[in-house]
Chain A
Amino acid sequence: MTGAKTRPGGAAAAIERLYFAPVSVHPIVLCRIFLGTILFSCYALYAPYIEAIWGPRGVTREYLEQLSSVFGVSVAPLTWAQDHVWAIYALLLVSAAAFAAGFMTRLSGLVMLVCHIFFAESRFHTWGWSPTIMPFIVYVVCGRAGARLSVDAWLRRRREPGRPDPETAPAWPLRLIQLHVLAIYAAAAWHRIDDPGWLRGDVLFEVLTSDVWSRLSIDLHALAGVLRLATWASWSVELLAPFALIWRRTRTTWVVLLTGLHVGLELGAELGWWQPLMVSLLVVFWPRGLARRVVERVERALPGGRCRLNGQEETD
């Protein structure tokens, strides 16, 4: 291969810039912290159920044996993992904490992912967020997620004092997160356009009163009309999200609207970790510079952090 020629103003160059131009490293750093925290929190809360669900005598083992004996599926790796479930569980918690803290970031992210796959394989216990989070972990691991606000960055500063902290990284991991978030909203909202429940505006009432999802055991029947309007409003926000998040002039408004939607749903309904996941991922659409300011502010507040004063980098 001799390589392709590209003109700076051409479409190929634009695509190349889209994926490879340097972009701020800060959004993906925040994604790392949020995703690691979500998985750590999720599995820490699973502790009382590990033995009964994933243990060697747990429910999942019975299902694996059925898969093996009735359907002839090879389940040996999973049964081996179940025999060592507490070790894998501990490894998952440690790696999730390390990933959130940015310690050996890439390795801890991959270990966390593999451990999560083992638990997620029996996912009839949870919602769709569990398999959906996996590609996002991969994107973040591929990015320079440990470049800032991390133990790795702190160790690097000790090793190489005076060396500036990374501000940018190739865009493609960030672009994949952005594209995937757009895909999630497109799929979630647009499949409903011929759905009677959504067209009638019933869904929010259903979710908030359902015995399965609702957090509150209260009668919302009197508010059914308001909830119908809220259903249409929230659906509109999701329907337009794939476009409004791309267009710079509407992006910030839609980040605020979508964040409000997810926070509202989290307060009213128990849907696993969907809402924290989506709010975390919306970081990649935050207004320009906001993620950097957040990262730098936290770095300044941490002992041994590095701050930027008058254009010069100094160690606290």
Chain B
Amino acid sequence: VTRRRSPARTLALILLLAYSAILLLASWPAEVAPAFVAGPGELSRNFFRLFRTRAVNFLFPGRGLDQKGRRICVVVFGLQADGAVTRVYQPADRCHPPGVRLRLNLFDGLVRNLVVVATDAAPKTRERGRTNRWISSLDGEPVEELVGRLRSSEVLDPLSQFFCKSRPESRSVQMAVYHDAVDYRTGAVSSWLEVIHHYDCVGAARLDSGWLPAEKMRAAAPDLPLAPLATNGERP
């Protein structure tokens, strides 16, 4: 016994099957896909990007175990015409991670994510994903290279511009990062406080000199814990 399917239903079925195939191809990770699937898989994922959406997420790429960033804090200082240094931005938790965090402060998350994006110039590896490079710089590239790359990154220009406008009295703004990490293998604590972006509010241009030294930043923000939590291998 046969029955006739209506043309509209046939068309709908074809579209549904095509969409289902695109979805399945998009979900096929390159790691397990035969070579002939890899290309169509990427095309399928691009199909979803076309609609500003995402079919799937390849969540949590490789992480290291031994080095942990335990306090990463972004603070923005403003330099006024008379040379005074003021605080333009600090995270809502004032660099003291709360005992229990219910919801991430969205603005603080945005600022930190932008800093993470700015480090993206470095090649990602399976061993260390982008975010992890930032979190665990102990085992990654030398701090000087990381900071140097951040200082020349145009990704942070608009963010600094925003801070300039939010504090019009600032002649320039300097975005600083305090990074505190512990090596669980040795117990060694490593920390650094560096300006990662200097922006001229008047000329609307990134500056590649005149970075505030750590002591001056600590003096301008004495209430913020911009120094190591512990130096004797004590775990957080």
Interface residues of A (CB under 8 A from B): 1-8, 15-16, 19-20, 45-46, 48-49, 52-53, 57-59, 62-63, 65-66, 70, 117, 120-121, 124-126, 128, 131-132, 134-135, 172, 175-176, 179-180, 182-184, 186-188, 190-198, 200, 202-203, 205-207, 209-212, 214-217, 219, 221, 224, 270
Contact = CB atoms under 8 A, between A and B. Distances in A.
A191 B29 contact: yes
B56 A188 contact: yes
Given A3-B10, A124-B113, A270-B103, A205 B17 contact: no
Interface in B83-104: 97-104
A184 B57 CA distance: 7
**Do most interface residues of chain A lie in helix, strand or loop, or is the interface mixed?**
helix
A219 B58 CA distance: 28
Interface string B58-76: 1111111100111110000
Given A3-B10, A58-B162, 17 more contacts: A4-B5, A5-B3, A45-B106, A49-B110, A125-B113, A176-B23, A182-B27, A187-B26, A187-B55, A188-B59, A195-B31, A197-B63, A209-B68, A215-B100, A217-B99, A217-B100, A219-B235
B71 to A, nearest CB: 6
Given A117-B52, A187-B29, A212-B131, A221 B235 contact: yes
Interface string B104-135: 10110110111001000000001100011001
Contact of A224 (B32, B65, B127): B65
Contact of A132 (B54, B98, B110, B159): B54
Contacts of A200: 65
A68 to B, nearest CB: 11
Contact of A59 (B5, B19, B159): B159
A202 B7 contact: no
Contact of B63 (A126, A132, A194, A206): A206
A219 B70 CA distance: 10
Interface residues of B, number: 76
Nearest to B11: A1
A202 B110 contact: no
A195 B68 contact: no
Contact of A1 (B7, B24, B31, B68): B7
Given A57-B165, A128-B59, A131-B52, A211 B135 contact: yes
A212 B135 contact: yes
Interface of B: 1-7, 9-10, 12-13, 16-17, 19-20, 23-24, 26-32, 48, 51-65, 68-72, 97-104, 106-107, 109-110, 112-114, 117, 126-127, 131-132, 135, 154, 157-159, 161-162, 165, 184, 235-236
B89 to A, nearest CB: 10
A52 B104 CA distance: 16
B162 A62 contact: yes
Contact of A210 (B4, B58, B135): B135
A2 B7 CA distance: 6
Given A124-B114, A188-B56, A215-B100, A183 B162 contact: no
A275 to B, nearest CB: 12
Nearest to B51: A134
B106 A4 contact: no
Contacts of A172: 12, 16
A45 B126 CA distance: 35
Contacts of A58: 162
A183 B27 CA distance: 5
Contacts of A196: 62, 126-127
Given A4-B4, A63-B158, A184-B56, A49 B106 contact: yes
Given A3-B4, A224-B65, A183 B26 contact: yes
A1 B109 CA distance: 55
Contacts of A16: 5, 9, 13
